[in-house]
Structure formats: C-alpha cells, structure tokens
Amino acid sequence: MDRIAITGGAQLHGTIPVSGAKNSAIKLMAASLLTDEPLRLTNMPRLADTRFLGKLLTRLGVQVTESDGPAGQQTVLHAPEITSGFAPYDLVRQMRASFNVLGPLVARSGQAKVSLPGGCTIGARPVDLHLQALEALGAKIDLHEGYVYAQAPRGLKGAEIIFPIVSVGATEHAMLAAVLADGVTVIHNAACEPELADLQDCLNAMGAKVEGAGTPTIAITGVARLKGATHAVIPDRIEMGTYAVAAAMAGGEVRLTNARPGLIDALLDKLKEAGAGVEPTADGVIIRRNGHRLDAVDVETAPFPGFATDLQAQFMALMTTAKGESRIRETIFENRFMHAPELMRLGADISVSGGEARVRGVEQLEGAEVMATDLRASVSLVIAGLVARGETTVSRIYHLDRGFERLEEKLGACGAQVRRIKGDGEAEL
Ligand code: EPZ
C-alpha cells in the first residue's frame, strides 16, 4: 500500500485551487437515480469515494461517464432504467454514504434492498434517522440479515419529518426521497450545511420544488418526474479549510482559489484568533504566517455554521506547536480523536478525556512513522509532518485518497516536500 513521506521545514508559498466537494458530489451522484435523463455534474473531484459510488451506481443501472472538458472535470450519470434495486454489503461497507441510494431507489422504482453500512472508526453512526424519514414518507421498512428492505409500491407520500437531532446524511436522504413523493414534505430540524443547499439547487435544476435548504426547515413539493440537468458541484469547504490550516502550520503565504469565502468562517475566525493572517478574496482566501508562533485557542465542533468536525483533526495538528494549551471538544462523533496518539508519536503533548482533548503546544515536532486511521485524521498527520524535523511517513493513505484530490501535487506546488511512496505489496497490519 502507498505511503506519503513529508520532509518538514519548508514554508508554503503559492496558490492552491480547491476542488469540488466530496461530500456534496456523492449525494448529487445519487440524485441521478431519480431521473431517466442524464445528469451532468461539473467541478467534479476525482476521488476514491466518487469511484466507489460510481461502481455501485453502475450496478444499479446508471451509465457513469467521466471526462475532462474545457470547464474541467465532469461526470455524466444516466439511468434510463433502474436495472437492480440491490446495494450489496461489500459496496456499501466501503463508503457509508452509499446508503443514500436507498431513498432515491424507493422513490423511483418502489422498492430497494440496501445493506446497512455498519459502524466506522469515528463512531457508531447509526442510520435510524434515515429510516424514520423514509417511514414517515410511507415506505415499509424491514430489517433482515444486515439489509434494509424498503417498499412503497404505490409511491411515497409527502409528510412532516421532525428530526430529533441534526443529521446531514438523514436530511439529504429525506430530500432525495421526498422530491418524487406525492404532496408536500416539511423537514424540521434539518441540517444547514452548505452541501444541503447544493443538493437543493441541483434537484431544482432537475425540476424538483425544494426550498429552505441552508435553514432548519426545508419544504419540498413532490413532482411526478424529474429531468436531466447540468450542475456545478460546490467547492470543498473541508479541503479549503485543510489547506488554510496547512499554510498556518508551515508558514508562508498561500492563496486558496476556486472556493467560496463564507463556507469556513468558524475556522477562519479561529485562525485569526491564533494569530494567522487571513484575507478573504473574491474566490477564496489568502492565509499568511511569517515566522511568529501561533497562540493556542480552544475549539468545539458543532453543526454548520459552527466549527466543522471534519476540520477538528487538522486544527489539533496546528495546535501541537502553538504557544500554550488548547482545549478541543468534539461534539458530533464519539470517537474522533484517533489522530491524537499518532500526533503524539511526532512529539505532540496531548491528553484525551471523553470528548475533550488538551493540547499543550511544543516548540518542535520530530518526524516519525505514523498511521492514518480515517480520512481527516490522515491529513492532520501530513499537516504535522510539514513542520516536524526530518521525515514523517504516513501509512494507510488509502484513507487520504478517499477525500483529497492530488494532495501531494497541490502542496508540492507551494514548496512542500511531500512525496508518495508506491506500495511494494507488503501487507500492512
Ligand atoms: C456527514 O456525515 C459527512 N459525510 C461527515 O464527513 C461529517 O463529519 C458529518 O456529516 C458531520 O458534518 C458525508 O457527507 C459523506 P450526520 P453523516 O448524520 O451525514 C448521528 C468526512 O470525513 N446520527 O450529520 O453521516 C451520528 O452518529 C465525513 O468527510 C444518528 O444518530 O453525519 C452523528 O453522531 C466523516 N442517527 C450525528 O448524528 C442517524 O440516523 C451527526 O451525523 C444519523 C446520524
């Protein structure tokens, strides 16, 4: 398996274009199941996760065509008919968001059998809210041998859906199912993440009637059929935030482009509080740090517009060399500190107790061999490696490849010493 080696010490100077958002792209791809006409997605990231989902959608009857046009990377998804309503364990297990094909399949063809995704390293991550939403829309749900069987032979019906807690995936799933339901659906306590508004825009371009995404109440008036459309995927706010943290960590000056300022205000406020230079631009942000050490600041993760859980690991890496002690509270997932022991292998001083980590900044990290445990954890190790003395090698970077497009190239273009070491076939335990 591949590894990434980073030689620490180089400042970053240059421009990094932000790719399309993984967490939006994979829900937009699922929307292609809702119509027999082609859905053209532009600004598409090419990632392991989009490939996984493409593979599953192909099994269900979607023709998936990737190309690089003048407007950049695009994917056309065309499902003239649903040839199978079965999403097997081996495909869903590889990527939890694959579970979101259930709603569109039931909405379009009245039935589906989709594997339960199971837990993952960052937490149990149940799908009870997804199933509650589909039941509210009139689907009959049965669970057998690890699979969800959902049926609505006479179609879904509009309903009130009241989520007891905020869930990005369940809100998106409810939207994807309700657009073809008969009547009006109102989702209360909806997630407000920007990816929801992106999904709304795409569905509306396909002829759906959705309003309110980006607020806690989303109203959907069901339509009988959807049509093809062209839609540009929103910029990846987590990738943008990750490189903003990388620039603040390594020092220098990095301009992030092809993005939207406003998507990561909670992070940018914390970077400013820590002493980094932050200058929003028309299509992104410039991050600067020249020599001085950053101050420790506390963060607590929260649903959007709060501090994103998907940026918590990166920020922890940043705090490992800040002046003073930082308290980092994780409130979204119960087990999302697995990067802490790996950062400690690089010399970080961190103690974790329940949902809180205390990071006491050290003057210097030392390069070491470390292991990625999940997507965002893996990039936090790369960020720490940018300033660690000597070489840091990160193994299990298949996690990284799920969500960061051409990471070595993007960081390398700004002067980082980052290289991929191709696997020698040796099994990793
Ligand atoms: C999405 O996951 C993202 N993934 C995650 O990014 C992100 O961390 C998360 O939202 C929060 O922003 C994708 O979009 C593919 P949730 P999701 O449902 O939708 C609990 C990354 O690194 N919950 O908002 O799965 C759940 O356990 C990934 O790119 C239930 O209890 O997150 C969690 O504690 C990691 N029952 C909380 O809600 C349910 O049915 C929020 O999870 C669903 C969720």
Among the listed residues 308, 281, 290, 283, the one whose alpha carbon sits nearest the alpha carbon of residue 247 = 290
- Domain spans of the chain, in order of start: 3-19+235-428, 22-232
Q: Which is higher by pLDDT, 342 or 119?
A: 342
The pLDDT assigned to 291 comes to: 82
The pLDDT assigned to 119 comes to: 67
Q: Is 354 left (phi over 0), alpha (psi -120 to 50) or beta?
A: left
Answering whether pTM is above 0.95, one says: yes
Rounded mean pLDDT, 344-358: 97
Q: Could you report the per-residue pLDDT of 286-296, keeping only the tens digit for each?
A: 999 998 999 99
Tell how far the Cα of 334 is from the centroid of ligand 1, in angstroms. 11
The pLDDT assigned to 424 comes to: 66
C-alpha distances in Å from residue 264, one per residue of 267, 282, 284: 5, 14, 10
Q: Could you report the per-residue pLDDT of 369-420, keeping only the tens digit for each?
A: 999 989 999 999 999 999 999 999 999 998 999 999 999 999 999 999 999 9
Decide if pLDDT at 243 tops 60. yes
The pLDDT assigned to 427 comes to: 39
**120 given a catalytic annotation:** yes
CB atoms within 10 A of CB 188: 12
Atom of ligand 1 nearest to the CA of 403: 29
Q: What average pLDDT does the chain have? A: 95
The pLDDT assigned to 407 comes to: 96
Same topology, domains 3-19+235-428 and 22-232? Answer is: yes
Q: Which of 101-105, 193-197, 331-335 has the lowest mean pLDDT?
A: 331-335
Atom of ligand 1 nearest to the CA of 374: 22
Q: Which CATH architecture has domain 22-232?
A: Alpha-beta prism (3.65)
Decide if pLDDT at 261 tops 90. no
CATH topology of domain 3-19+235-428: UDP-n-acetylglucosamine1-carboxyvinyl-transferase; Chain (3.65.10)
Atom of ligand 1 nearest to the CA of 334: 34
Tell how far the Cα of 125 is from the centroid of ligand 1, in angstroms. 7
CA distance 420 to 342: 19
The pLDDT assigned to 228 comes to: 98
CB 52 within 8 A of CB 401: no
* Best of 116, 239, 332 for a ligand 1 pocket test (most atoms within 8 Å of beta carbon): 332
The pLDDT assigned to 423 comes to: 84
Query: How sure is the predictor about 426, in pLDDT bands with cuts at 50, 70 and 90?
Result: very low
* Best of 23, 47, 162 for a ligand 1 pocket test (most atoms within 8 Å of beta carbon): 23
